[in-house]
Each structure stands twice: as structure tokens, then as C-alpha cells.
Structure 1
Amino acid sequence: MMINNQGIKKVLVAAPNWIGDAVLALPAIARVRELFPASRITISGLPHICELFRESPYVNDMRIYSGSLLSTVSDIKKCGFDLAILLPNSFRTALMVNLARIPLRCGYNRDGRGIMLNMAIKVDARTKKLPQTEYYMNIVNYIFGDGVFSGEQKRKEWLHLSQGELQHANEILHNFNIPSGSLIIGINPGAAYGSAKRWHPERFALLCRTLVNTHNAKVIVFGSQQELNIAAEIVNLSQVPVISMAGKTSIRELMSLIKQCSIFVTNDSGPMHIAAALNIPIVAIFGSTDPEKTGPMGNNHIVIKKDVDCSPCFKRKCPTDLKCMDLITVDDVLKGVERIIEKQ
């Protein structure tokens, strides 16, 4: 379905609710900016999701979801948007833009929300198999038709940081006596979705010990407040100097510190996608999920996954023996890191 973009002055893009999904949506959002160079593009989403878009050249404004649906609708309605592009599949998002009376409302026709969209996209077998980045791009292509994505498809960095943020990250490293030019390995042992996506902490600890002793690496463990215990276990078991930044960073600080890393070793998670969008080489550990669908953007990464009959299961918690993670050894991950080191 093609529309005349000349009459579209204000565009609302509803962002996905998970960090990883929001990052995977960046090429689609960049495509919207390319198609509407003179329009005002606003991102709406949860507070931590909107933080990803500060400094972004793709958007002009952010609308953070407030406490209630009606207050959010009232806020959005005042803006006078011409077009709403819904990236998440949620019923609530469709209801929100419908109640806000945005004239054009585009998103996937699923979860009973098609009646609230006047540009509803059919979800067929092909659509369901699309990698997540293409799943989001398919929405934009439905509105405007397939086209060449001028140079942006070759972009290596999709997230943006200010010089002040990068300087702040450098100051943090300096405070930990990490000199410029060090081999900095970021470790992300958590995964907000659930334990089925997490490699074992004791194996992360052994990996840290080997990297410090063999490669003189400076290792930084990242994580949320909910992952403090995992990070502490890794630090204690590693028996070498390891810095934990778990629970100590905002989203923007996490981004700026990841940008300083030489390599990022991570489970399938939001921070994995942040690292990829900042063009940091990744060793990604996959268990219950599918790297073909939600793997890191770019081609300078190494994905480690074992073939197991029950994987991908996409479960939050493994109902059996977590074999998909048990089969991944420290040596598997170490070899991945060393392959990247050899290229640097």
C-alpha cells in the first residue's frame, strides 16, 4: 500500500518494549527518516527504550509512555500526528493510536487488533519466518513499497553517543586504572528474558580467568540490578582482577562503556544488540533462541550455538536439563574470542 509522503508532516513510531527488539528495529526507523527527511518523527515507548534514541539522527522527539493508557493517549493526541507506525505487536499499542485518532495507523494484523488499524498488514507464513530486523522493515516496505535503502543498509553503527558520554566512559576506565589501548573484554552474563538464555556463571568466571592470565585482558562484567548476584559470582570465582559494573549504569552509560570494549562476550540479550549496533565485535552465546531470527546485526561477530533437538524452544526457563547451554564449553567461547583478537 503506497501513500503520498508529501502530506505527512508528523510521524509517530511506536517502539518495541524490549531493548534488543528496539535495537533490531533501528534500520526500519532509519528507513522512515530517509523517506521523510523533512517530517517530524517521534518515538514513543517505555522510558528505558526511549533512552536508546537520544542523540539519534533518525528521530526529532520522544514520547515516554505515562502511567495510564488514557493519559498516554491524551499526550499523543495533542501532537497531531498524521501517521502511526506500530513496530510492536501489542493490542494496547493499536488501541492507543486508535483512541488518539491518528489518521493513518499501520502495523501487523494480529492479536485481534486489525479493526483498529486502517493499514493492517497480513501476517502469513513468510512473515513469521523473517529475521526480526526484516520483520520490522517489512512494515515500512508495506507503506512505501520496496526500495533501495541508500547507503544506510551498509551502516555499521546504528546507535549514537555524544562526545560527553564517551568522555565520561573514558573517565570511568581511568578510575579503574585501565590505560588507553588495553584489550578490554566486556562480559554480559545476564538475559532479562529468562534463565534459559544464560550460560553458566562458573564458565564465564573461568573464561575471565583465562583471558586475564593469557591475554592480559581487562575484563568488565555488565548487568542490571536483577543480575547483581550473577556478576558477583563471576567476580568471586574468577580469582583474577575483574571489574563489575552490574547495577551501576544507566542505559546511556552502558552504551558508552560497551563502546570502549575491544570484544563483547554475551548471551542473547539487549546488551548484545547494543554492542552490535555500536559495531563492537561480539562472541554471542545462544541456547534457547535462534540466531537466524534474533542474531546480532553486522558480520564481524561469532555466534556459538550447539545443535540440540529441543532448541530453539524460546522458553524463558528450561523445563529439562538446559542441554543447549551445557554443551557450550569455555574452550568454545575462548576460541571465538581469540579468533577476533587475531583479526584486531
Structure 2
Amino acid sequence: MQNDLINNLKIPDCKFYSGYKPCFPGYDCLKDGCKMELSGDTSHRMGKKILIISLDALGNVLLNTSVLHALKRKYPVSTVHWLTMKNAAPILSNNDFIDKIFVWDDDDKLILSGMKYDVLLNGDKSFYACAFAGKVKADEKFGFVLNDNGKIIPVNDAAMYNYNMGIDDELKFRKNLKSGSQIIHETFELEYRKDEYVFSFSAEEKDFIEKYKEQIKYDRSYLYVGFNTGCSNLFPNKKMTVEQHVKLINDLAQTSEFKILLLGGKEDTERNLKIHESLDKDIQNKVIYTPTNLGLRNGACFMDVCDVVITGDSFGMHLAIALKKYVIAWFGLSCWNEIELYNCGEKLIPTGLECAPCWNKVCPNNLECIDMIDLDRIASIVRKYALVKPLFTNKN
């Protein structure tokens, strides 16, 4: 008898109901029913509760947003939560597919441990991600967990190809022709339609972009060429040398219709300054030096000004893909087949170099793959793109 009130409690099937305060001021959802449901608006319904775990590597987190389209096709009425590292959370901001972002800290992990999901998707093959995925309560799990011996294992048959990519170098470096996006779709048993990444600007960010364009006297008749100059410190050999950047920028800046932008994050501040100071004196004033210390989201705003982005395989490359820029990406130690440019860019591959790709943090071969970067070809690609820019602009 003492639990009759609890037993008769009807918690609204609503994404916005917290049990802490009213969804709408002055309105009692428990007594009067869900206001959104009564209005005929069904967007609030929780439906399938889904947790995505994607923690590590900023570029990988952004790539994994490509599954959101297929996820909503499979579960049109659903609530999507995403667990990621704090530094990656800004990547997921303003994403209409995601209902809530949880960060990898004690508070959020405690909250998640008290919840139950219909579907768990974990594409990360790290011990801590897999350990946590194993603990989450979910009816269905896709991707990877830890077994009783602390070994990473696939939890569904469809994840086996992805799993083998991690332990079979011949498959990863020589045989695989699938993109990372296709592989993660298959891992999660989602239909792959070559869906693009999801990255959205807020209204304030769009206003920031327009004001920055005014500041640099943006003129759409020019071709804006961005140089993403750096990369993660984890793999420091995924960037050109300063000298290569200087040579290429000096070359491209000779074309009066091109505007050059230096792009990067806080770890690239000194490097970009060195590149800028090493340019020919008459070129320096033609190069737009974008701030590197304003955070990931503002960095994306600066990149959005560009038509073309020249980059190694880094987060900046993935961001350029997400922003639908024409991407000229060169590769050395990483696997070029895993990158999908969505018919909007070109890859430069170290053809004939037996050691590439390798994913080595330290190169035993004097960075031959870096030396092989064809700067003349990059310049040629930029000039050819300038001729067809209107076609891509209209397409996007």
C-alpha cells in the first residue's frame, strides 16, 4: 500500500522531462499530461534509447558522426546520447541528431551507469572505452567490449572486419579498400550510403564567420586556399616541413586570384609563425594569418572561409571534409584508403614506397614519404580547381 503512489506514477516518454523541474514554467506534466504530446508534436518521444561511445582522436570522433544519418533511418523515433572526451565535445555541439553529449568524467559516467539503453554502439578499441561499454546496461550492443581476461573483443559478428583491421597488418595496410566510414557503419550494422560527416555552426558562429569575412575583406571572386599546417603531437610526422610549406605558399601566392590562409590550433602557433616569417617579404602581406588560440569551434569558423584546404591526415583534414571544402590531402604513414573525400578533393599517395603506410610514430627511413610530397602537383591541383570552382560552389 505504501508504494501505491510510486506504482501509479506515469513518467512521460519525453526527451525533455527531467523529474527535477517543469518542462514548461507553470505546467505540471505529471498531472496534466505531456504538453508536447497533447499538441501533436512527436519530436519529444524518446523511442529507442541509443548510446554512442566515441572517445579518442578528434578526427575519428568527427568521422563517426557520419553514422548518424543511417542511425536515424534505422531508428527514426529515437534518443541519441554520445559519450566522448571533454576536448572532443565541441565537435558535437549544435548537432541536431544528438540529444545529449556526455563527457568522460566521473559525474557523467556515474549518470550513465544508472541508465539503461536499447542500443549501445562502441567503435573505440581502447581498453577504457571497451571496459565501460561492457558495463553499460543495454539490450543490444555493437562494436567492442572487454572479455573476462581484459582483452578487447568484438561483441557482434559484423564487427569482425573492423576487429581484424587492428590485428592484421596485411589487411589494414595492403588489402583493405573500405573507408573508415563504411567500416564503422558495418560494425554497427547500419546501412552505408556514403553519408557525410555532421558538423553544424550555431547562429552566433555563422555571424562570427561573416564578421571575419568583413575583417579580411573577403571577395568571393578570389580562391581562398587554406593551409592546415600541423597535426596531433601523437603522430608528429603527419605534417609537411616548414620549408615545404614556404615553397608551396610562395608559389601559389604568385597567382593574384589566390588568397592564402594559415590554419591551425594552439599547438601550431609557433610553427605557423615560423612559416609566415620565412615567406618572401612581398608574400607575407598577402597571407592571412588566422588566430590559433581561440579554440576548435572558432578554428572551424576560420576554415569555413576557405574554398580549398591543403592538409595532411589530421583532424584539420576531417574538419575540412565535414565543412565540404575541396580537400587536397597528402598521405605517408596513415592509410589513405580509409579516408572518404566524397568526390570533393584529391589524395596524394607515396606510390611505390614499400614502407607506407606504417603508422610508426618514429620513422626509421628518414621520412621518405614526406620528401615525396609532390608540391608542384598540389599547386597544379589548386590551379585546376580554380577553373571549376563555380561547379563545386553550386553543388554545395
For the superposition of Structure 1 and Structure 2, which TM-score range results when normalised by the shorter chain? 0.7 to 0.9
CA distance 1:225–1:190, shift in 2 (3 Å): same
Query: Matches of residues 1-344 of structure 1 in structure 2 within 5 Å?
Result: 9-66=48-105, 68=106, 71-108=107-144, 112-114=151-153, 119=156, 123-124=160-161, 128=165, 129=176, 130-141=178-189, 147=191, 153=193, 158-192=198-232, 193-239=234-280, 240=283, 241=285, 242-293=287-338, 295-307=339-351, 308-344=353-389
Q: Which has the larger radius of gyration?
A: 2
Please, which runs of 5 or more residues in structure 1 have no aligned partner? 1-5
The CA deviation at 1:55 is: 1.9
Distance 2:134 2:355 in 1: 40
CA distance 1:278–1:210, shift in 2 (3 Å): same
Contact 2:265/2:299 (8 A) holds in 1? no
Q: Amino acid of the residue matched to residue 182 of structure 2? A: E
Distance 1:17 1:126 in 2: 17
Task: Count how many residue pairs are aligned between Structure 1 and Structure 2.
Answer: 325
Contact 2:225/2:258 (8 A) holds in 1? yes
Contact 1:16/1:87 (8 A) holds in 2? no
The CA deviation at 1:78 is: 3.5
Distance 2:346 2:85 in 1: 31
Per mean C-alpha deviation after superposition, the further-off stretch among 329-338 and 272-281 is 329-338
CA distance 1:244–1:227, shift in 2 (3 Å): same
Q: Amino acid of the residue matched to residue 73 of structure 1? A: K
Q: Amino acid of the residue matched to residue 267 of structure 1? A: G
Distance 2:138 2:162 in 1: 29
The two structures have a TM-score, normalised by structure 2, of 0.75
Q: Which has the higher contact order (CA 8 A, sep 6+)?
A: 1
Per mean C-alpha deviation after superposition, the further-off stretch among 176-185 and 280-289 is 176-185
Contact 1:13/1:43 (8 A) holds in 2? yes
Find the residue that maps to 1:282 and give its secondary structure: strand
Q: Amino acid of the residue matched to residue 160 of structure 2? A: V
Find the residue that maps to 2:151 and give its secondary structure: coil
The CA deviation at 1:82 is: 2.6
The CA deviation at 1:283 is: 0.9
CA distance 1:202–1:246, shift in 2 (3 Å): farther
Find the residue that maps to 1:85 and give its secondary structure: strand
Q: Amino acid of the residue matched to residue 61 of structure 1? A: K
Distance 2:46 2:244 in 1: 56
Distance 1:337 1:140 in 2: 37
Contact 2:55/2:84 (8 A) holds in 1? yes
The CA deviation at 1:269 is: 0.7
Please, which runs of 5 or more residues in structure 2 have no aligned partner? 1-44, 166-175, 390-396
Contact 2:159/2:188 (8 A) holds in 1? no
The CA deviation at 1:88 is: 0.8
- Which residue number corresponds to residue 3 of structure 1? none
Per mean C-alpha deviation after superposition, the further-off stretch among 175-184 and 81-90 is 175-184
Distance 2:72 2:60 in 1: 19
Contact 1:264/1:283 (8 A) holds in 2? yes
Contact 1:157/1:277 (8 A) holds in 2? yes
CA distance 1:118–1:262, shift in 2 (3 Å): closer
Contact 1:73/1:99 (8 A) holds in 2? no
Q: Amino acid of the residue matched to residue 137 of structure 1? A: H
Find the residue that maps to 2:62 and give its secondary structure: helix
Contact 2:55/2:83 (8 A) holds in 1? no
Percent identity between matched residues is 16
CA root-mean-square deviation? 2.6
Distance 1:277 1:258 in 2: 11
Contact 1:227/1:246 (8 A) holds in 2? no
